[in-house]
Structure 1
Amino acid sequence: MSGPSGGAGRRRGRGGRRTPMSEINVTPLVDVMLVLLIIFMVTAPLLASAVPVNLPDSRAKPIDTEEQDPIQLSIKGDDTLYIGEEEVRETELPARLEAIAAADANSENPRQIMLRADKSLDYGRVMRVMGELNRAGLTRIALVTTGSETDR
């Protein structure tokens, strides 16, 4: 028999002989990954538009967008124009819109323009931009608002 000095039958602590752990508990990993997935799913739509615009409220139903990504045209409260996240000067706007219309001319399904205008802007200012869109041949325009739950 082997004694307390060591050997094959030596006991370790209270639990007796310990065998190496051959299984990894993946439950905590799955829990963390699901929480991260939920966080990304919630924050991804909020990060879609990087130009901060104070949008007006509306009770209109949301529209379905097609398979192509729409073009974001934003007008901030300080009258700054953006196409996507790129700032555009007022004088460059007609040429940029005509280039977008020319790129969509060959497509059967032209891309939609999502017009995001600050609610503090003058109505005439927004109409001038919509007039430029119409003049360029871009007629699929959607006005972006925030949803309102209250009845008016």
Structure 2
Amino acid sequence: MAVSLDSGGSGRGRARWKPKAEINVTPFVDVMLVLLIVFMITAPLLTVGVPVDLPETEARNLPSGEEPLTITITAEGGIFLQETEVELAELAPRLRAIAGTGYESRIYIRADDGAAYGEVARVMANINAAGFTNLGLVTDPIER
């Protein structure tokens, strides 16, 4: 929509009007808005980055409106709070620091299929002893 009214003649006779070339930024803005929407949709799907082989069950997905707080237990016994590796003794103080005055939302535990049952039980007992009672185990659905 940029048109400049420059006179193209030498001043005598009828004045000529030439359009001035400028960049139209509307397509660039459209592309940026589409990219923004794509990233807003895909960002919540990338919350957990610790790869584990989850057991398969016939359980359905639970609804979650906010970013979940996840604890991952690997097959080797490593414990991750979100994506940060922690020791079992550090887990409860870190959860209390995150929760502040209280954390009423569910804490999701992602345990590898090869993780020892005793290790998963120790982590759950540690979380429960810290005052967090709303725990959930994450599994993969069975593909048919």
TM-score (normalised: structure 1): 0.64
**CA separation of 1:42 and 1:127: change in aligned 2, threshold 3 A:** same
Identity across the alignment (%)? 37
CA deviation after TM superposition for structure 1 residue 8, in Å: 5.0
The answer to whether the 8 A contact 1:59-1:149 is kept is no
**Per-residue displacement from partner, 1:48-86 (whole Å, max 9, x unpaired)?**
11322232334422222355x543211122211112222
Q: What is the number of equivalent residue pairs in this alignment?
A: 134
Q: Which amino acid letter does the alignment assign opposite residue 131 of structure 2?
A: G
**Per-residue displacement from partner, 1:2-52 (whole Å, max 9, x unpaired)?**
xxxx6358xxxxxx95312478351x2244224413441343133211322
Unmatched runs of 5 consecutive residues or more in structure 1? 1-5, 10-15
In 2, the alpha carbon distance for the partners of 1:34 and 1:58 equals 39
Alignment of 1:33-44 (within 5 A): 33-44=32-43
* Pick aligned residue for 2:132 from 126, 135, 138: 138
SS at structure 2 position matched to 1:82: strand
Residue in structure 2 matched with residue 64 of structure 1 by the alignment = 63
Runs of 4+ that moved beyond 4 A: 101-106
**CA separation of 1:145 and 1:106: change in aligned 2, threshold 3 A:** same
Residue in structure 2 matched with residue 53 of structure 1 by the alignment = 52
Unmatched runs of 5 consecutive residues or more in structure 2? 1-8
SS at structure 1 position matched to 2:108: strand
Q: Which amino acid letter does the alignment assign opposite residue 45 of structure 2?
A: L
Residue in structure 2 matched with residue 115 of structure 1 by the alignment = 109
In 2, the alpha carbon distance for the partners of 1:58 and 1:18 equals 71
CA deviation after TM superposition for structure 1 residue 139, in Å: 1.4
The answer to whether the 8 A contact 1:111-1:140 is kept is yes
In 1, the alpha carbon distance for the partners of 2:57 and 2:10 equals 80
Residue in structure 1 matched with residue 20 of structure 2 by the alignment = 20
The answer to whether the 8 A contact 2:75-2:116 is kept is no
Q: Would you say 1:89 and 2:92 are equivalent positions?
A: no
Q: Which amino acid letter does the alignment assign opposite residue 132 of structure 1?
A: N
User: How well do the aligned residues superpose, as a CA RMSD in angstroms?
Assistant: 3.4
TM-score (normalised: structure 2): 0.67
In 2, the alpha carbon distance for the partners of 1:73 and 1:122 equals 15
